[in-house]
Amino acid sequence: MTRTEALGLSVLVSVSLALAGCGRGATPPPAAANPPPSTAKVAPADVGSARLLNAASEPSQWMTYGGTYEEQRYSGLSAINRGNVAQLGLAWYADYDTNLQQEGSPLYIDGVIYVSTAWSKVYAFDARTGKTLWEYDPKTPGQWIVNVCCGIVNRGIAAWHGKIYVGTLDGRLVAIDAKTGKEVWSTLTIDPREHYSITGAPRVANGRVLIGEAGGEYGVRGYLSAYDAESGKLDWRFYTVPGNPKDGFENDAMRRAAKTWGGKWWRLGGGGTVWDSILYDPQTDLVYFGTGNGSPWNDQYRDPTDGDDLYVASIIAVQAETGEYVWHYQETPADTWDYDAVSPMMVLELTLDGKRRRVLVQPSKNGIFYLLDAATGKLLRAAPFTEVNWTTGIDMETGRPRVVPGARYVHGGVFDALPGGQGAHGWHPNAYSPQTGLLYVPTQHAYSVWMTDPHYKPSPIGYNLGINFGAQFTYYRSHPGVPQGFTSYLEAFDPLTGKIVWRGEANQGPTGAALATAGGLVFQGGGGSEEFRAYDASSGRKLWSIQAETGVLSGPISYELDGKQYVAVSVGGNSRGGFYAPNYSRMLVFTLGGRAKLPPATPYTPPPLNPPPATAPARVVAAGRAKYSQFCAACHGENGQTRGAAFPDLTRTPLLVSQDAFDQVVLKGVLSPQGMVSFAAVLQPADTAAIRAFIIARANELKRMPQFGPGPGVEGLEVGGRQPGG
């Protein structure tokens, strides 16, 4: 064996072990000294139509994703309030068996907390003590991660008649016995030959489980499905974009939509995936859901005729019983900026212009707050809830945005967009307080550069975007004076006036989700700040906070048990050390007078920035930059140095010392079980040599900087500039 071969083998072994992730924490959560006996024996997850319809009358529970069908994320509990929140302390915590980012919003039902974690796993905890009752692992194959856009995450679960439902990364919908954690049934919701995945939370309505899918970056056709909650049988499916006209159309909605498309869009799927927000309103008996970006992102490649491309970037309403189309509102016609319309929605009862109306509201990724009549979809209000530069506003007669000249970056143009691809508001749930009448929006102020990739060709593996990902680095480097950056904050927004009432403190990087309570509080995760906070819901004054030792992004909940109010949040998101650092993914549960303590953080030293010398010719580095931008930047960062902790920072990988070791991973796929599949279908050895040369050149450039820092910064909670999970 040559020295190079031996080095490559040792590198592969060490990287394989690192990619396997961090083990479950050894410190168990503290148990209550004398846990009180249960007052009544109830079946686990005993949730049916009657309880869900009247969920607001049971504030002690949190039985569905948004708290109630209206998904206002408001708790009627007030034992924890403005006057005593400073006494809030940790009651217990429970570690997960993963070192990856957590986005799952938990459920609390009759003494048990259920939560989904990375890799689509599900836990059940005793809500008094934190004892693990069971764990469910769907055993998602690591190879499937090549089809996952933005992180190995799961955003939530649903409950119905003794079962917990979860969607898996490889496209299954699974029913789990809530008592035992055993699988009851599993059904495949996708075509396994296509690049689909599931990261969003299912919802249950009238005995049906509603689930969407992700994959718009890879070239798929979006849809929403409804499955029988008892059997797993498909009841109905609504496609969000039309397919090949030669195959006929499923319904009149698809026939009408096809008239707004041009070219041969169906060859790349069209996009419009339903990767997050789904809401059932029992009063209208409608299901509302948002649709994602078109596929590819760049409208010039998707539809050269400049059509609106229905129903991309839209809110759609269908009948809950049949899935039949009722209405739609398209927020971003001919979307070319990745402005998904999938951000969380809620239903409110508001008095507008002297008339009481039931409305659907959404602060969208494109920076505009929309208020629609829930029954008809009529646009009633539209106003920016943060700074935007792609539009001057919404024409209330047509409902269309007035797009500024140059924003579409056609004919070689460049556009520094606000919001960028990260979005002004992503998947992070909002909250609403009927006490204040305010909507609490996790808001992001982030730029990104849009530039067409003139050499784009559809690829069978990796992203199909049609944009130059590398422009995020090259444009800002050559234009240091243009606006850029990524900050976030919690915002209190008046849905009646369209005015911003207050903003919380700013963070670098992404934000976290919100919860409003009858105690006059808003709880919110600080994202990369690693802080969990409580604000005065009226004034925005921060009244309490705690350092969670990790990123706090997912939706908090509140519940009552044995006469005490609790607040629970699932945390995990490495913001300081990079992919290999511990990120302390856990369930944290707080109550007044809680005295539990988290164990101290483990000291960690990031891998050194110590690349081989950069010796490749400039033309090879340039070729490597182009290939890297097309196939690698989406996960590992647009400039060779990942912004995130969801994937390794390649400027620091030991694989750089050996082309053979590099190719064993990239071409041979030796790390496929960990999610890094082979790219041999689209890359040749000369391509990987150029990619490695580019990364080495970039690493040496970083090393020469006066302060290149020890590792990724707080922007690390975002992947390649996108929202994880999309």
Confidence (pLDDT) at 369: 98
Q: CA 346, CA 71: separation in Å to the nearest integer?
A: 5
Confidence (pLDDT) at 26: 32
- Average pLDDT, consecutive stretches of 10 residues, N- to C-terminus, the chain (726 residues): 33 35 34 40 93 98 98 98 98 94 97 97 98 97 84 95 98 98 98 95 97 94 98 98 97 98 94 97 98 95 94 98 98 97 98 96 98 98 98 98 96 94 95 98 95 88 84 86 93 97 92 97 93 98 96 97 98 76 93 96 86 95 87 74 67 93 94 85 94 93 65 34 48
Q: CA 404, CA 413: separation in Å to the nearest integer?
A: 13
- Cis peptide bond upstream of 608, omega within 30: no
Domains and CATH numbers, the chain: 3-23+607-709 (1.10.760.10)
Q: CA 672, CA 660: separation in Å to the nearest integer?
A: 17
Confidence (pLDDT) at 51: 98
Residue 687: C-alpha distances to residues 641, 663, 680, 681, 691 (Å): 19, 10, 10, 12, 6
Residue matched to tokens 């494109």: 366
**Helix, strand, or coil here: 441?**
strand
Burial of 494 (0-12, 13-18, 19+ CB in 10 A): middle
Judge contact between 258 and 247, C-beta under 8 A. Answer: no
∠ Cα 513 515 518 (to 5°): 170
Q: CA 650, CA 479: separation in Å to the nearest integer?
A: 25
**Does the active-site annotation cover 338?**
yes
Specify the amino acid at residue 392. Answer: T
Q: CA 504, CA 444: separation in Å to the nearest integer?
A: 12
**What is the dihedral angle through the alpha carbons of 322, 325, 327, 331, rounded to the nearest 10 degrees?**
110
Where on the phi/psi map is residue 349: left (φ > 0), alpha (ψ -120 to 50), or beta? beta
Give phi and psi for 232, each to the nearest 5.
80, 10
Confidence (pLDDT) at 641: 54
Residue 138: C-alpha distances to residues 172, 229, 324, 625 (Å): 9, 18, 32, 37
Confidence (pLDDT) at 325: 98
Catalytic annotation, pick one of 299, 303, 338, 416: 338
The two three-digit tokens of residue 175, written as one number:
């029913």
